[in-house]
Structure 1
Amino acid sequence: MNHYFIGIKVPNRVALTLSQWQQHIKPYVSYRGWVHELDFHLTLKFLGPVSEQSVAQLEEYLQDITVPQFDISINGLSYFGKKEQPRVLFAKVQLVEPLSDLKEKVEKAAAALNFDQDKRSYKPHITLAKKWKDKTVLSTSLNNKINDPINHFRVEEFQLFKIHPQNEPKYEIVKTFTLKETGE
């Protein structure tokens, strides 16, 4: 079975800037995997292995989600894991109410089809690199290495993605869902 997730594809202009950020910080970090520019996204829900039948059902539930379009801001870099050798390096995304509402509605849609619920609090982010690769230690602040600010971008839609782990880019958009207000 293929693995899937629900997320927000990053607009091309933002992806280009994030790719430039990667180039600026590569000399200062030691990661095995760098996210491809076409794979930048904001995860709403990781699903794991999903049958084709469940994908079709999930698409119906996701189609009914009503959340108005909204803006989100990217606020520099952060990481998951130890400060000296962070597991994941990411661009921080501000958690605004419409994003929180969208996340909650995606969780409810997934729960209706018996997908596991996320137990951790939601920390929106866009992964730039993963898997620290050696014993070197991060010894500098990376935020002062990026000089192209990304103030915000408009979220008008979200996507269901299929994961192709051996490919580059790895993520295929299966279906796009336009954000809409109740009654549209």
Structure 2
Amino acid sequence: MEKDSVSEDVQQERLFIALALPESLKQAFSVQMNLIRDALPFKRWVHPMDLHVTLQFLGDVPKDRIAGIDAALQDFSTPSGWSSELKVGISGLGVFGRRERPSVLWAGIETDMRQLERLQRKVVEAMKPLGFEPEQRPYKPHLTLARNYAGALPFEQAALRVGENVSSAEWNWEAGAITLYKSNTRAKPSYEAIGVYAIKK
């Protein structure tokens, strides 16, 4: 039984579709992450090279289905109402989870939200015929920075003021493509791009 279980794990990949940040921006923003870590004691911090804006999480996917995902994304076309490349920036901090002990620390996204929501819906539509159902929760784009608050005292929203400078012209980029990632949580960085697909005009 143990052998079968190991074999089954190898035959699957944990996948998600996202907007990738340029490498130079990841490196620049890693400096800012180091500056806020002491003031915000979270247990697990994301490796800067893993920063991304999720469009759709696909979960554990059998390897023999990846070719179908790749084909659907190769055919990905411009969302209705798309006018130009999507300009994206990083702005401010927030948390998800319980007020006193949040589970996620995130950086906000500054962009044309209508454009980004059109793009996200288009991705969901492309994946639905392959059996990937959209999440029921509203789409809230963000950059996950850390998980599991580990402070000795209850979390205070005022602590997020340390991120008042998390907004800079140098942290802007144009998103002209979407990326298919696979996840390996045992490695750092944890996410590997296995496909990049231009958003066709």
TM-score, normalized by length of structure 2?
Answer: 0.82
Q: Count the aligned residue pairs.
A: 181
| Partner of residue 100, structure 1 | 117
| Partner of residue 141, structure 1 | 159
| Partner of residue 8, structure 2 | none
Give, in angstroms, the shift of residue 107 of structure 1: 0.4
In the alignment, is the contact (CA less than 8 A) between 1:7 and 1:42 conserved in 2?
Answer: yes
CA RMSD of aligned residues (A): 1.8
Identity of aligned residues (%): 29
Partner letter of residue 70 of structure 1? L
Moved more, 131-140 or 161-170: 131-140
| Partner of residue 15, structure 1 | 26
Partner letter of residue 43 of structure 2? R
Moved more, 132-141 or 150-159: 132-141
Query: What is the CA deviation profile of residues 76-125 of structure 1, one whole-angstrom value per residue up to 9, with x for unaligned ones?
Result: 11110133322101111135222111101110111110112211110000
| Partner of residue 143, structure 2 | 126
Comparing both structures, which one devotes a greater share of its residues to helix? 2
1:36 to 43, 47, 61: 47
In the alignment, is the contact (CA less than 8 A) between 1:14 and 1:150 conserved in 2?
Answer: no
1:73 & 1:83 partners in 2: Cα distance?
26
Q: Note closer, same or farther for the CA distance 1:81–1:31 as it changes in structure 2 (3 Å cut).
A: same
**Does residue 1:165 correspond to 2:185, yes or no?**
yes
| Partner of residue 176, structure 1 | 196
Q: Note closer, same or farther for the CA distance 1:75–1:149 as it changes in structure 2 (3 Å cut).
A: closer
Give, in angstroms, the shift of residue 148 of structure 1: 5.4
Moved more, 157-166 or 96-105: 96-105
In the alignment, is the contact (CA less than 8 A) between 2:103 and 2:147 conserved in 1?
Answer: yes
Could you list the runs of 5+ residues in structure 1 that have no partner in the other structure?
A: none
Indicate the structure (1 or 2) with the bigger Cα radius of gyration.
2
TM-score, normalized by length of structure 1?
Answer: 0.89
Partner letter of residue 39 of structure 2? Y
1:56 to 56, 67, 77: 67
In the alignment, is the contact (CA less than 8 A) between 1:72 and 1:96 conserved in 2?
Answer: no
Partner letter of residue 174 of structure 2? R
In the alignment, is the contact (CA less than 8 A) between 2:17 and 2:56 conserved in 1?
Answer: yes
